[in-house]
Structure 1
Amino acid sequence: MMKKILLLMTLCVAFLTSMADEGMWFLMHLKRLNEADMQKKGLKLTAEEIYSINNSSLKDAIVQFNGGCTAEIVSKTGLVFTNHHCGYGAIAELSTKEHDYLTHGFWAKNYGEELKPKSLYVRFFVRMDDVSKRILALVNDKMPEKERQKIINQEIAKIEKENSENGKYVVSVKSFYNGNEFYYFVYQDFTDVRLVGTPPNSIGKFGGDTDNWEWPRHTGDFSIFRVYADKDGNPAPYSKDNVPLKPKYHLPISLKGVQEGDFSMILGYPGRTNRWMPAAGIDQNVNYAYPAWVEASKVGMDAMKRHMEKDQTVNINYASQYSGVANYWKNRQGMIDALTKHNTAASKRKLENGLQKWANKKENKAQYGDVLQTINSYYAATNEKARHDNYLIGMLRSSTFAALPNNLGNALLQYAGANEAQRAQIVPRIKALIQDSYEKAYMPLEIDVLTDELNLYVKKAGNIAPYIAELATANHADFSQTVKVAFEQSIFGSTEKLNAFLANPNVELVNNDPLFKISNALLTKYREASPAQEQMDDDFQGAFRKYIAGFLAMNPKGKYYPDANSTLRLTYGTVRALPKDPRNDADINNYTTLKGTIAKYKPNDEEFDLPKRLIELYERKDYGRYADKKGYMPVNFLSDQDITGGNSGSPVLNAKGELIGLAFDGNIEAMAGDVIFDPVLQRTISVDIRYVLFVIDKFAGAQNIINELTIVE
């Protein structure tokens, strides 16, 4: 019996520690945990050359891009490479029907032609440090969760203030292992970021939703921006007097290409993983939460698409929002399929059985004995709530007017109740919100999206918002007329009505507004938390913290990494093929070629059309110095690093730290990767840097951009 227990514990450690190329590692721990292994696999650098506080290093070239992606500095004048889909929102914002940069691309010939989106920033990582002992010394497990969190938040505020240098830096203290460790991160933000170049959609988004998360891929998923600073190199608001940033470090670019088995590494800002999620949580996502998310997303997408297909201006204005919804729609369905296929919950449950046996030992029982029971009871009690909440989340992500009237309406109520001096301070914020929300809004689309989402919500979500239930009873669960009339009567139906309200504010007008009442009901339900639910949440948080602590305590010498949470990490591995695929013309199924791109070409197709010039370059085999030594033009390649959302745009680096590609996707076979790493199937899909340079140089003729780069032949 003891041998079986030890075997289960060994399996548990193998599951939670580094497997093959698993792991999203802190840079400050590379010397201790990873340097020797990385160098054994081929790395030519030291940990100090990757992360140094006192000297320039690789980390100085890696930036978080607009809070949700990664990018890299590639020139001494602040040039930034990231994914096309990461820059998509900014490109769409700058596009018009007359200057449709999404469809036709854009290439600035000089600094003066570069375009400034309204809101775009990059975040440089300065340093990090461990403050676990300092924070955890102030709390104990006997405290209620609210009291514990209050004390932690107070100490976090002190740490962030101490390290901000009077506002020079942005400081963020993050919890890891669900409150078992704490680290602070120091950043510097630059907000003057301008568009330099982007390929047309037919290159940057080639394959569309059909190829998303799929291999083989043929997508030129890149865009180019530039960071500007004041004359002293400091962050500054947009100004014509700002100058291109002179970074501490920029990445050299290699034209040598990739081979099967080559060492490679990725630095970036992975957004969120749930590798420590309990089995019951996996079951909840697969059976309740994700199916609701998928269905609500598809309803919103279909409603948007009906209007986008009829009007190019509408298509441009909603392209970014649609793309964001579509990406997660396919992701969540892929998660359902992968987690089900691999019996991930059952595998995790076996590990939890080992944890429970360890927890039942006399020396562990008081601390860990009831942990799994509390966790399992929590998920059983919240399954239906998870289903409801994800239908609602799908609506809020798809429909602007599900949330906007509530958010804007509360600002209007504050305005209406204020005196003249207070109104003068409030009104700029309100007008900015109106401008941002209505400038490109298309009301027929918004009416249809909200109508279809509400129809789905009342039919499928279960314990719905009371006011929405009243309306559904009155309209027989058909919101077509209800929403149409609401838009006609609401002050939120147009900017003219909103401006009229600002001239003559009236509290009752907002409170009785039909769109405000719908939106307020949805947001109130979204934020709803009964005392009983709050207590369950507290009990669960305490149990989940002990759950992770228990796994760590079972093998204190293990090599662990925390879940991703949008902090800078490094992951490493090799260029690695998948089994041969007849759809790929490549000799080895670890790369794709321009020949394969052309084979997918469908004239005038939204997803698989191609620019005439790209086809001509292919027919002439005019690849310049960017062709592989075997003569083909590479497009995408595979490696086996451990990445997730937020890594989009991350640099893929070779053993010398030279840029060889931009990570932009994963493969759908390993879609369960946010919950469990698959060492056999997990792949990163990247655009080969040679294809990026080929498009910039040979396709676009943007030699000025090529001249800025440090290219290693």
Structure 2
Amino acid sequence: MHFKGYIYQLFLPLFIITASVLSGCATSSSAQQTMAPEQLNGTPENRIVPNDQGMWLLPQIDGILYKALKNKGLKLAKSTLYHPEKASLNQGIVRININGSSSGTGAFVSPKGLILTNHRIAYDGKTSASIIKNNYPKTGFYADAMDSELPLENYTLYIPIEQKEVTHQIQSQLPDTLTYYEQQQQTQSIKKRLIAQRKDSTDDLIVEINDFWSGNRQFMSVYKVIQDVRLVHLPPKAVAEYTNAPLAWSWPTHGGDYAFLRAYVDTNGQGSSYDDANIPFQPATHLPIDTSGVAADDFTMTLGFPGQTYRNESSFSFEFYKNHRNPVLLDSYRAILKSLQYADEQDSGTAIKNTSRRASIANVLAYYRDVQHGFEKHNIIEKKRTLEKDFEMWARKDSLRFLRYRRVLKQLDQAYDIASQSGDLLYGLVQAINNNKLLKIAGFYNAYRRHRGDSANTDLTQKQKKNLITQHKKVLENINIEAQKLMLSEMLYSQATLPDGKVMFYLIRLFGGAEKQDLKQEITNYVDSLEQQSFIFDLTKAKKFVDLPIDSARATPADPMVELYKKMFETYQFSRKNYLQHVPYLRPAQRRYAEGMLAFKNDTLSYPDANSTLRLSTGHVTGYKNTEGTYHNPFTTPSELAANSTKSAALNKYIQLSTYADSVDSPVINFLTSNDITGGNSGSPVLNKDGEIVGLAIGSNPKGVIGDYHYNRKFKRAINVDIRYILFLLKEISGDDRLLKEIQISSTIQKSTTHK
């Protein structure tokens, strides 16, 4: 999942800060180190793992970089991989957007718009009523004909047509005399003009211009948009998520994590919303499939839309994440997950509706837990500080350099010092206000409270009062009150146990005398008392209050739940105002930091941080040793699956059905590669040297999650599903070959599938 995008969505209603505030620069290691060919020899656990670091923009794949990738194993011509004016591999890839946000990747695998992607992506977000009613995420779904394929609500596909640099077109129009913020304003105006020129009134084109290297360079991405997306096939959840732990990046795993969608357009080939008359989209490129199998050391590559990385941000930002952001987010997501699990235990219908959200929250929680562990285990902040000391010494060796970069580190330190004063409190408040439904209802009445508090205001109309009660009723009918109370109690405890000086005054007033060992129970008792006293929990009491004349409503004591919301929201507003004071220091310093680090490292090749734009990564099939020295083989096999499959009768049936599990070649189920991926790459095709699909990316291994901040080739791995296992399951679950006939199977000569 694109976890950072998910976090950002949660912040949008209240916490509107552009992504660039906390995102930063990114560079690769030196070109010589990054691209040096290395021998893969010796026993599997003692092989030297290639440095496959890099999430490359497609226009970068030229010259030295293209030659280096060919040395690693790439066989495709540049024009086949990417061409801005002709059909090329990039047009076989799709960015899958759910509810307006980039959520994953897919690949066209037939000339009729058939898309291969991950299981979760195929039902995430608000899907059709029939999918929820029939519990297809759990039981699986297969459309035996095109007219049986199910429309997915709030899904769009972005097909990348072009990606090009426009830095010169923008920066040549910016006089050197402008201040940083004047430059930003003019840059936005120039971007709008360039986008309008490229779009040229074409309805189904989306044009974006993104900043890279903290605004030092800009690239334009052009997409064809598909609005009619339908579910074709979804395996049962027990098959898709078969693992020792229900997380996307567990290893070892035996997950058949895949699904098929289809893109539809109108009869003129234009993207349009769902219509019975729409026809399957014919992509300019669809990717062939290679069923000859993968072997240790094989060259691989992925094309996809990695969400966000922070690798070359400063030590000050890393310290902020570790000490002020991550702990609060961990507490918040634990509280949300506990609430969902409690509600699911009480009602099977709720459990079905919560399937996607529960899985997403569990994965986000695991992500931040592994990130935090990585910060602590690998001394990342200390390593970054050492690099910055060297950078400072380098700057001092030249008077002009020193003049340009001498204040960068001090400004970053100052920015994050300001952010740390209120950041953890702010993150916690945002999570509570945006996620707890009881607080959401209280927010409705807080707005009414503000309205009636102004003596100049008249009473609400009967229509307005009815709408208020209707909103209240709609939320109340769709929640488990005890689950929401549990979440609220956990979040208040997290807020009440922040460091001294950061606890909101209202909580100090309520619980300031409590010892820590008694605090959790006191907060639970307080939330229980809210249920007894507040009309938020009782629609009849709420209606009586709303029906009061405005003078009587003004004289009525404040509802305790509305009062809690009011205090939290006021603290949020105050904290946000303080927090945002770091932005004027951070943005220009971050841009100068990225520029300086590029010059300091003297890279002839570098790649920018991920930001949901199309990237190519290369890798090799390889295992890894964990920090305890245990070697993890890069393959899981059907024999292991059969020996350990106790979770699902359906799963047992699938593994016993065919010769797949008894194959002499012992084809794999999942495999590891050193491809450099992150959230958003879920569903990316794993390709061989000839651009044929050999697998499907699921996510990173637990030890590799910290790679979003600090790349370590010893641990950074991508977990993938073998394409042969996907085709096997497709055949066995569907019982026919309708889709198999659509898919282009490569006639590549069989190669050894010995697993080393």
TM-score of the superposed pair, with normalisation by structure 1: 0.85
Which residue does the alignment assign to 1:215? Answer: 251
Deviates more, 1:433-442 or 1:552-561: 433-442
- Check the 8 A contact 1:216/1:583 in 2, yes or no: no
The question of 1:156 aligning with 2:156 is answered no
Deviates more, 1:556-565 or 1:126-135: 126-135
- SS of the equivalent of 1:711 reads coil
- Check the 8 A contact 1:83/1:664 in 2, yes or no: yes
CA displacement 1:230-265 (0-9 Å, x = unmatched): 111111111112122111111111111101121111
Which residue does the alignment assign to 2:671? Answer: 637
- Check the 8 A contact 1:297/1:398 in 2, yes or no: no
Which residue does the alignment assign to 2:681? Answer: 647
* Distance across 2 between alignment mates of 1:504 and 1:689: 65
The question of 1:188 aligning with 2:218 is answered no
In the superposition, relative to structure 1, how do residues 487 and 107 fare at CA in structure 2: closer, same or farther (>3 Å)? farther
In the superposition, relative to structure 1, how do residues 240 and 96 fare at CA in structure 2: closer, same or farther (>3 Å)? closer
Which residue does the alignment assign to 1:68? Answer: 103
1:93-492 mapped onto 2 (5 Å cutoff): 94=129, 99-139=134-174, 145-166=180-201, 168=203, 169-207=205-243, 209-210=245-246, 212-360=248-396, 361-395=398-432, 398-402=435-439, 406=443, 441-460=479-498, 463-464=502-503, 478=522, 480=524
Amino acid at match of 1:648: S
Alpha-carbon shift at residue 515 of structure 1 (Å):
5.8
Alpha-carbon shift at residue 579 of structure 1 (Å):
4.9
Alpha-carbon shift at residue 299 of structure 1 (Å):
2.5
Alpha-carbon shift at residue 363 of structure 1 (Å):
1.8
Alpha-carbon shift at residue 180 of structure 1 (Å):
0.8
Amino acid at match of 1:676: H
* Distance across 1 between alignment mates of 2:472 and 2:271: 28
- Check the 8 A contact 2:255/2:670 in 1, yes or no: yes
CA displacement 1:180-238 (0-9 Å, x = unmatched): 11122122221211111111111112227455433211111112211111111111111
1:485-504 mapped onto 2 (5 Å cutoff): none
Alpha-carbon shift at residue 162 of structure 1 (Å):
2.3
| One of 8, 26, 35 as aligned partner of 2:66 | 35
Which residue does the alignment assign to 2:584? Answer: 538
* Distance across 1 between alignment mates of 2:282 and 2:96: 18
Amino acid at match of 2:54: G
CA displacement 1:449-480 (0-9 Å, x = unmatched): 23332232233376355566666679988555
CA displacement 1:24-81 (0-9 Å, x = unmatched): 0011121235321222222221121111222111111111112211111111111111
Alpha-carbon shift at residue 340 of structure 1 (Å):
2.0
User: For this pair of structures, how many residues does the alignment match?
Assistant: 687
- Check the 8 A contact 1:593/1:636 in 2, yes or no: yes
- SS of the equivalent of 2:283 reads coil
Which residue does the alignment assign to 1:606? Answer: none
- SS of the equivalent of 1:213 reads coil
- SS of the equivalent of 2:425 reads helix
* Distance across 2 between alignment mates of 1:111 and 1:432: 40
Percent identical across equivalent pairs?
Answer: 27
In the superposition, relative to structure 1, how do residues 435 and 272 fare at CA in structure 2: closer, same or farther (>3 Å)? farther
Which residue does the alignment assign to 1:605? Answer: none
Alpha-carbon shift at residue 528 of structure 1 (Å):
4.7
Amino acid at match of 2:645: Y
In the superposition, relative to structure 1, how do residues 472 and 208 fare at CA in structure 2: closer, same or farther (>3 Å)? farther
Which residue does the alignment assign to 2:751? Answer: none
Amino acid at match of 1:79: L
Which residue does the alignment assign to 2:598? Answer: 552
- Check the 8 A contact 1:317/1:440 in 2, yes or no: no
Which residue does the alignment assign to 1:51? Answer: 82
| One of 683, 701, 713 as aligned partner of 2:735 | 701
CA displacement 1:402-423 (0-9 Å, x = unmatched): 5576589879999xx99x9xx9
- Check the 8 A contact 2:307/2:678 in 1, yes or no: yes
Deviates more, 1:96-105 or 1:673-682: 96-105
1:514-525 mapped onto 2 (5 Å cutoff): 518-519=564-565, 522=568, 525=571
- Check the 8 A contact 2:625/2:714 in 1, yes or no: no
CA displacement 1:127-153 (0-9 Å, x = unmatched): 122222233345578755543432222
Alpha-carbon shift at residue 618 of structure 1 (Å):
3.0
CA displacement 1:658-711 (0-9 Å, x = unmatched): 111110111112222011111222111001111111111023324222222111
- SS of the equivalent of 1:712 reads coil
The question of 1:596 aligning with 2:640 is answered yes
* Distance across 1 between alignment mates of 2:133 and 2:394: 67
- SS of the equivalent of 1:277 reads coil
* Distance across 1 between alignment mates of 2:114 and 2:544: 45
CA displacement 1:328-363 (0-9 Å, x = unmatched): 211111112222222111111111111101222312
* Distance across 1 between alignment mates of 2:62 and 2:677: 21
Amino acid at match of 1:366: L
In the superposition, relative to structure 1, how do residues 628 and 234 fare at CA in structure 2: closer, same or farther (>3 Å)? farther
The answer for unaligned runs of 5 or more in structure 2 is 1-26, 37-50, 452-456, 748-756
Amino acid at match of 1:150: Q
* Distance across 2 between alignment mates of 1:644 and 1:153: 28
| One of 560, 563, 574 as aligned partner of 2:620 | 574
- SS of the equivalent of 2:403 reads helix
Amino acid at match of 1:688: D
* Distance across 2 between alignment mates of 1:335 and 1:450: 25
CA displacement 1:607-639 (0-9 Å, x = unmatched): xx1233x4234345433xxx7963425210111
CA displacement 1:425-449 (0-9 Å, x = unmatched): xx99x99999997785444423332
Root-mean-square deviation (CA, aligned residues, Å) is: 4.2
- Check the 8 A contact 1:85/1:205 in 2, yes or no: no
- Check the 8 A contact 1:325/1:398 in 2, yes or no: no
* Distance across 1 between alignment mates of 2:281 and 2:541: 44
- SS of the equivalent of 2:624 reads coil
The answer for unaligned runs of 5 or more in structure 1 is 1-9, 603-608
Which residue does the alignment assign to 1:564? Answer: 610
- SS of the equivalent of 2:95 reads strand
In the superposition, relative to structure 1, how do residues 560 and 98 fare at CA in structure 2: closer, same or farther (>3 Å)? closer
Deviates more, 1:278-287 or 1:45-54: 278-287
- Check the 8 A contact 2:626/2:715 in 1, yes or no: no
In the superposition, relative to structure 1, how do residues 551 and 39 fare at CA in structure 2: closer, same or farther (>3 Å)? same
In the superposition, relative to structure 1, how do residues 254 and 379 fare at CA in structure 2: closer, same or farther (>3 Å)? same
* Distance across 2 between alignment mates of 1:54 and 1:390: 45
Amino acid at match of 1:445: A
Alpha-carbon shift at residue 530 of structure 1 (Å):
6.9
Which residue does the alignment assign to 1:5? Answer: none
Alpha-carbon shift at residue 322 of structure 1 (Å):
1.7
